[in-house]
């Protein structure tokens, strides 16, 4: 569910401003800070040219310590920027930590935008000094500030039976493909969740949501998804929490696909009867990335032959004698 008046869960506050990183002059620097340490889970791009923010967050993740804050800049990716880019990324975390009275290793970073450009640290550090001036629990300003080529902000939320809440925000429009994409997805919850349990479940949730999305077949350098849990609303049943988290992530993933650069339709592929989930995902992904199949969808042509073709080359085991294909609930092929 999205809403223009969405508030962050208990204990989280955010701020956003224009630091001059986007040529448009729109908000481009933001943060979310928790009043208490957060258990967290993380997934980053598998690109071998991962940006400094992904590399550092991955190192912090391996350390297993709790975090308190996230700082995001939009407009410049700080990717393919070498050792200077890594230093600038660390300085961004260090500066926010000093301003928000938290330690540097408790601050996660995220950058998105043009690859190959260094961050204008004078403007960025000046902007960071003013983030604490206007902290609030409003989520939409943060969701807007992290956008690049998006046409609209993306938010989703869920409330658990205990009253704990999950609020998610995302950005993404182009370079969208499984194994992450040019996307950020940040979920914040006041539920108390065991970090080991959260980290154990998170990869499968990402695989079934963000890694099941494709727009153009390209995977970028800065992509990440994470969830931060500060425990301020107390313990929750873990199964209920994980179902709700996956629901929020799926909502955000669909919003990213719907807002894909040049997209006029949202295509959802549902596979049943596969031997394994891996084969089901392979079949679905191949259908979604197929230029011929996407052309048929764009032209309102229920060309089931292109579905057969895509599933066949996906590597999934298929018996066409029992295979069926339906388009918008209408059967168009039954095994032959």
Q: Kind of pairing, strands 224-229 and 154-159?
A: unpaired
Tokens 């949202």 locate to 266
Cα–Cα distances (Å) from 51 to 45, 82, 160, 222, in that order, read: 9, 9, 35, 5
Q: Rounded to whole angstroms, how far apart are CA atoms 242 and 211? A: 17
Q: Rounded to whole angstroms, how far apart are CA atoms 336 and 319? A: 9
Q: Tokens for 137, please give them.
A: 């629990």
Q: 43, 225 in Cβ contact below 8 A?
A: yes
User: Which position among 112, 182, 221, 286 bears the catalytic label?
Assistant: 182
Catalytic, 104? Answer no
Vertex 58 angle, CA 134 and 71, to 5°: 10
Q: Which residues are catalytic?
A: 182
């Amino acid at each position: 569910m999205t809403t223009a008046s969405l508030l962050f869960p208990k204990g989280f506050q955010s701020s956003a401003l224009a630091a001059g990183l986007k040529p448009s002059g729109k908000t481009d620097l933001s943060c979310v800070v928790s009043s208490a340490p957060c258990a967290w889970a993380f997934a980053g791009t598998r690109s071998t040219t991962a940006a400094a923010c992904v590399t550092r967050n991955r190192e912090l993740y391996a350390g297993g310590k709790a975090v308190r804050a996230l700082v995001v800049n939009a407009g410049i990716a700080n990717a393919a920027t070498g050792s200077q880019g890594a230093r600038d990324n660390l300085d961004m975390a260090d500066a926010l930590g000093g301003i928000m009275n938290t330690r540097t290793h408790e601050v996660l970073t995220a950058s998105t935008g043009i690859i190959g450009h260094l961050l204008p640290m004078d403007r960025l550090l000046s902007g960071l000094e003013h983030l604490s001036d206007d902290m609030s629990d409003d989520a939409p300003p943060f969701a807007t500030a992290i956008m690049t080529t998006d046409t609209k902000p993306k938010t989703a939320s869920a409330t658990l039976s205990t009253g704990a809440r999950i609020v998610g925000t995302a950005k993404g429009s182009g370079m969208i493909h499984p194994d992450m994409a040019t996307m950020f997805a940040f979920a914040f919850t006041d539920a108390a969740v065991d970090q080991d349990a959260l980290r154990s479940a998170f990869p499968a949730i990402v695989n079934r949501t963000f890694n099941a999305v494709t727009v153009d077949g390209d995977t970028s350098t800065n992509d990440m998804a994470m969830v931060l849990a500060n425990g301020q609303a107390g313990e929750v049943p873990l199964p209920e929490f994980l179902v709700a988290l996956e629901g929020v992530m799926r909502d955000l993933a669909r919003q990213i696909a719907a807002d894909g650069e040049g997209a006029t339709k949202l295509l959802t592929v549902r596979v049943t009867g596969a031997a394994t989930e891996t084969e089901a995902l392979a079949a679905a992904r191949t259908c979604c990335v197929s230029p011929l199949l996407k052309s048929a969808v764009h032209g309102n042509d229920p060309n089931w032959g292109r579905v057969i073709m895509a599933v066949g080359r996906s590597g999934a085991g298929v018996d066409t004698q029992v295979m069926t294909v339906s388009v918008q609930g209408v059967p168009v092929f039954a095994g032959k």
